[in-house]
Amino acid sequence: MKVGIVGASGYAGETLVRILLGHPGVELAAVTSRTHAGKPLAQVIPSVRGIDRGITFVPSDAAALAAGDIPLFFLALPHGAAAEFGRALVGSGKRVIDLSADFRISDVATHERHYGKHAAPDLLPHARYVLPELTAPEWKTGARIVASPGCYPTSILIPLVPLVRDGVVTREHIVVNSFSGVSGAGRKVEEGYLYVERAESAKAYGLVKHRHLAEIEEQLELHTGARTVIQFNPHLAPMRFGIATTITVPAAPGGTIDSLYASWRGAYARAPFVQLLASGETPDTAHVVGTNRIDMSAVHDPRTGNFVVTSAEDNLIKGAAGQAVQSMNLWFGFDETAGLL
């Protein structure tokens, strides 16, 4: 099956290129870039030298892509730009997997509070938010656009949703602290992201109203049946890749570490990319970078009555490109792990 990537020169797009070039079931037939059109793929992304199949970047022209014979496009574009391409591609019968936030939030007013005016609200009924481990398989019927989750939400929702849904933890007083590698900010030249500024330095940012908060809380309500408010504290860490998340949440009456792990095992017994570590063994970003895996574990603090839940993932793979390919595999009938092991 032919696939294309719109916006293939950013960090997520580059990661998609590497994964799809090694996927046994697809042919990477088009990669686009406004700045690199006409350049060989291997010149822009040297890591694919020798496996690039002679591919050359083409212009990011929505009408031209819509007129071609590629049935599926990945959109690795900034927020706001993806909707423009989504309209043209879906209108011509293509399917789309979007890595931006343009289709992640179903409520237009909520989206516009965090991202500004929505460029294609009429497309929202055709979109499905897909977190493969949690979203019911009915999403595959009728979807034209897959909204692939953000990196922070993935690290939070996978550990937290089963516990809230099964009543192992309370809905109140949930505090989430997450640390992201600098690649999560995208490929851009700004003083705050220079090596001298970020090396040996960690800081909180986006407190109280980080953009991903709306996505997290909407999905928590969708999966657990009631509104759930969390305190989300994102941090920028002096590392290139990875997300480490710590969730502090009160145990519900009767909740034990055994019932917590039973909830996780029930939810993820057949999830190939979720690894449950023993209580007390803390996940490490060094062990998940380069994989489509999320590692997680939990401990109970009898002094406070809280569970302390930790997770780690690669922000560009499980948190972006790898998860998007995982959704493609499920959508088009490939093995869920194809191209990802």
Residues designated as active site: 151
Report residue 287 as tokens.
């062990």
**Best CA proximity match to 179, nearest among 121, 116, 242, 133:** 242
Length of the chain: 341
d(Cα 245, Cα 152) in Å, to the nearest integer? 8
Report residue 233 as tokens.
């504290």
Cα-Cα-Cα-Cα torsion 115, 118, 123, 124, nearest 10 degrees, comes to: 40
Contacts of 263 (CB under 8 A, 6+ apart): 162, 163, 165, 166, 168
Q: Phi/psi at 194 (nearest 5 deg)?
A: -65, 155
Q: What is the DSSP letter of 265?
A: H
